[in-house]
Structure 1
């Protein structure tokens, strides 16, 4: 996380941002059911780099945490004059991180810093002055959480961007919560994410109905996979599911 235009504030305003920023981040984490006390946090004035363990809550970080942060910022800024608003750039990336003598080390840390200082984030806030938050997901995070349908978000909620900062270059996925028109049309985004889309001119295919058991017209449980009916369940803590079978179905339509 990094506060936009921090350097243009006077000393008192900078001190206020440093006071309020961690409290907003803590509030968002509590709302999402995440414990920031378990995270390793490197504080740098108007910026925070937080490293958290892989614990199965990654979809909640991408989805609930960002949503609660956007809501907290909206409420916070509603009580302030326009020039005193706090606007944040945010990045979520994943990878191996080493705790070093003077902070964090690792290519994942460098990639996160490059993403945070990339033009797409700055441009997004400039293009949407009403927005309080601009988010970039690395391609790995986007594919493992959003494309994998582990969140309430869809690939169409994001715009594919190319990040080039110093020696770093990569694909990332941009979202400006609450700002209209920040993502391209569905087919373009789906194709960019490597998802299937109908060929040009091909008729749209209706979603097939459930293949009920028990004969024609029956109301048995369907064995057909229905992506539009996914129920996301987040499990915290270790779980040994070897030999387990998980099944969910709905009777009828």
Structure 2
């Protein structure tokens, strides 16, 4: 790591020399759901398949050249992690997640593993942050807090529950850091609707953060109840009710002061506030504020700017 000599000393701080920040990289990690549930004799074959499946998914997405431009990569058991140029971050979400879903469905139909056969399903985490570049020492390449965080996201209960609540045909469940979501999705670079992602809280060991869930192909309970687990969806609704109650506005009333609490397809509250009062404060996770007729049948983006608190 390069240090700066002759830098002025401040009155505070710990006395360490300042250092240059490593370059930001887009981090992409995967592992196999229920790897330990496969027979031990199949573990080596599963490990061998992961890079091949990812290579095929990149090519299926039209990103074959990107696959060959990895800055570094590691394979440990059923886990794979790699660093890419930060500029390709949006492509790791769209079209890659959809292509990985399609590739795993193909694998499960044509080349299954196990006796009895068990479908291959993967969790994916995507992050962006400063990590060290390759120096020839594979043990230290790609080091940094962001590297730790992408693994913590992969271990979060929120993303693990997605595959357990979906049918086997849902092969990919992804979790995206808040930084990656804001830079790639909310800014429009992925070309996706932000509402395709569900905001959640993550706590793994001593790591706590906000993250976003994404499933390219929803089945089972995910279709009926959304990406958030039931307890998280209930927490969102309670928070909306508390915010509305604090403003002294009755939820569900009709008329000029009617309050609309929206829990839409992804079980996230999009807007809470009066349906017709243009000066009302709206709250939500992200994206456009919606107004309606009070019964949820007329939802359209507001054309007026409103003060807003992100939840």
TM-score, length-scaled by structure 1: 0.73
**In the TM superposition, what is the alpha-carbon distance from 1:192 to its structure 2 partner?**
4.1
Q: Secondary structure at the match of 1:105?
A: coil
Q: Could you say which residue in structure 2 is the equivalent of 1:76? A: 107
Q: Could you say which residue in structure 1 is the equivalent of 2:147? A: 109
**In the TM superposition, what is the alpha-carbon distance from 1:200 to its structure 2 partner?**
6.9
Q: Could you say which residue in structure 2 is the equivalent of 1:18? A: 47
- Structure 1: which 5+ runs fail to align? 209-253
**In the TM superposition, what is the alpha-carbon distance from 1:114 to its structure 2 partner?**
0.5
Matched, 1:173 2:207: no
Q: Could you say which residue in structure 2 is the equivalent of 1:135? A: 174
Q: Could you say which residue in structure 1 is the equivalent of 2:78? A: 46
Q: Could you say which structure has the larger radius of gyration?
A: 2
Distance in 1 (CA, whole Å) between partners of 2:31 and 2:300 is 44
**In the TM superposition, what is the alpha-carbon distance from 1:199 to its structure 2 partner?**
5.3
**In the TM superposition, what is the alpha-carbon distance from 1:201 to its structure 2 partner?**
5.2
Q: Say whether the 8 Å CA contact 1:159–1:189 is kept in structure 2.
A: no
TM-score, length-scaled by structure 2: 0.60
Instruction: Output the aligned Cα RMSD.
Output: 2.5
Q: 1:95 aligns with which of 123, 129, 133?
A: 129
Distance in 2 (CA, whole Å) between partners of 1:112 and 1:188 is 27
Runs of 4+ in 1 over 6 A off after TM superposition: none
Matched, 1:148 2:187: yes
Q: Say whether the 8 Å CA contact 1:158–1:175 is kept in structure 2.
A: yes
Q: Could you say which residue in structure 2 is the equivalent of 1:185? A: 264
Higher relative contact order, structure no. (Cα contacts within 8 Å, ≥ 6 residues apart): 1
Q: Say whether the 8 Å CA contact 1:160–1:189 is kept in structure 2.
A: no
- Structure 2: which 5+ runs fail to align? 1-29, 228-262, 272-282, 304-311
